[in-house]
Amino acid sequence: MAKYEFGKYRLDTEKPDATAIAAILADGSTDDILFAAANAVKAREYGNLVFVRGIIEFSNYCRCSCAYCGLNAGMKMTRYRMTPDELVEAAVETARVYRTVILQSGEDLYYTADMLADIVARIKARANCAVTLSIGERSLEEYKKIREAGGDRFLLKHETADAALYQSLHGVLLDSRLQAQRMLKALGFELGGGFMVGLPGQTDMTLANDLLTLRREGVVMAGIGPFIAHPDTSIGQAADGDAHKTLKVLALARLLLPRCHLPSTTALNVKGGMKDALLCGANVIMQKATPYEYRKLYDIYPGRDAKDVPLKEQFEELEQRLAGLGLRAE
């Protein structure tokens, strides 16, 4: 653990204080020092490697009514579900390029635990890759089946550590989400968490507590991205989250969780922040591997890339971009 000085503020990573974290976020005078410190920690822990994952968004159905999400149950949109066979084939193809395949969907209960376990087992039997799932909240028994079938990692963001804000946006209790994270961790999944920056009603103290929540829950990966308003949602007229503030939060996450995998999230990339993120703590990029006919339908927020580029070509283009920054895709 280390102590860092940012002007008149000190960050003690052994006993981090939310008030100090919030003060660093509010003060822009030492941002360059913060970013350099985070980049140095990332280089110490991971060298110049950037871990690239392929993500397949296999269903845009969702049972939830989250106020910010373009997939929420109340949205009028063209819905789709990939069949299990389609998903397995897409995952096997993705694994020829990427070492980790992420299976992501809305909270779609059409896919039972037995179906998901069978999909994971079939992928693992045919491909040498890690399988990450991002499918929302399920029961302990359901998570256990998926884990026993070979699921390696699970991404379940807490979204905001402010319990009242969480309930106003989701209509359910934050404790339910945190309990699900703890079940996943207890089952042996590598737990991924994360949250948004710039939600309406969020404060710097909220963000400080978000960072401490990641640490307390023991996540090994954390997706931190700016809030991007979807115009058809109930908060669609709210201002988007600030990309620079997101970078500061990301940098602080690197200092507080040195070994954590921190992606330059899709939302941050939409805001043009990928290069900056990789130079202030991020060490992961998630590349779209969703079949093209479905890609544009996963309309979680505006601005997402839906171009039809072959996976190998997509990876090679990214390799070249990273090489220009002195980084190497893994």
Q: pLDDT tens-digit profile of 216-272?
A: 999 999 999 999 999 999 999 999 999 999 999 999 999 999 999 999 988 888 777
Mean pLDDT of the chain: 95
CA atoms of 161 and 213, how far apart (whole Å): 7
The residues near 130 (Cβ < 8 Å, ≥ 6 apart) are: 99, 100, 101, 152, 153
Burial class, 3, CB count within 10 angstroms (exposed 0-12 / middle 13-18 / buried 19+): exposed
- Residue 96 CB partners (closer than 8 Å, separation 6+): 127, 311, 312
Q: Please state the rounded mean pLDDT for residues 50-60.
A: 98
Name 265's Cβ contacts closer than 8 Å, sequence gap at least 6: 194, 223, 224, 225, 277, 286
**Half-sphere exposure (Cβ direction) of 72: Cα atoms closer than 13 Å:** 19
Q: CA 156 to CA 185: how far, in whole Å? A: 11
Are the C-beta atoms of residues 159 and 166 closer than 8 Å to each other? yes
Residues 6+ apart with CB under 8 A from 293: none
Q: What percentage of the chain exceeds 70 in pLDDT?
A: 99
End-to-end CA distance of the chain: 27
CB 137 within 8 A of CB 156: yes
Coil, strand or helix: which one is 7?
A: coil
Q: What does 46-68 look like in DSSP terms, one character per residue?
A: HTTEEEEEEEEEEE---S---TT
Q: 136 CB contacts (<8 Å, ≥6 apart)?
A: 62, 64, 105, 106, 107, 156
Contact indicator for 75, 232 with CB cutoff of 8 Å: yes
Q: What is the average pLDDT across 92-97?
A: 98
**Lowest-confidence pick of 26-30, 108-112, 122-126, 139-143:** 26-30
DSSP β-bridge partners for residue 11: 4
| pLDDT bucket at 304, cuts 50 / 70 / 90 | confident
Dist CA 183 CA 187 (whole Å): 6
Q: 59-72: string of b/e by CB count within 10 Å (b at 16+)?
A: bbbbebbbbbbbbb
Model pLDDT for residues 154-208, shown as the tens digit of each residue: 999 999 999 999 999 999 999 999 999 999 999 999 999 999 999 999 999 999 9
Residue 241 — φ and ψ, nearest 5°?
-65, 155
Whether the model pTM is above 0.75: yes
Tell me the C-alpha to C-alpha distance, in Å, between residue 211 and each of 1, 175, 193, 205, 223.
Answer: 16, 17, 10, 10, 11
- Rounded to whole angstroms, the Cα distance separating 9 from 2 reads 14
The Cα 171–Cα 223 span in angstroms is 22
Q: What integer pLDDT is reported at residue 271 of this predicted model?
A: 73
Instruction: Give the H or E element holding residue 223.
Output: strand 221-226
Q: Show contacts of 240-243: CB within 8 Å, 24+ apart.
A: 240/198, 240/271, 241/196, 241/197, 241/198, 241/199, 241/267, 242/197, 242/198, 243/268, 243/271, 243/272, 243/273, 243/276
Domains along the chain with CATH numbers: 3-329 (3.20.20.70)
At 84, which amino acid appears?
P
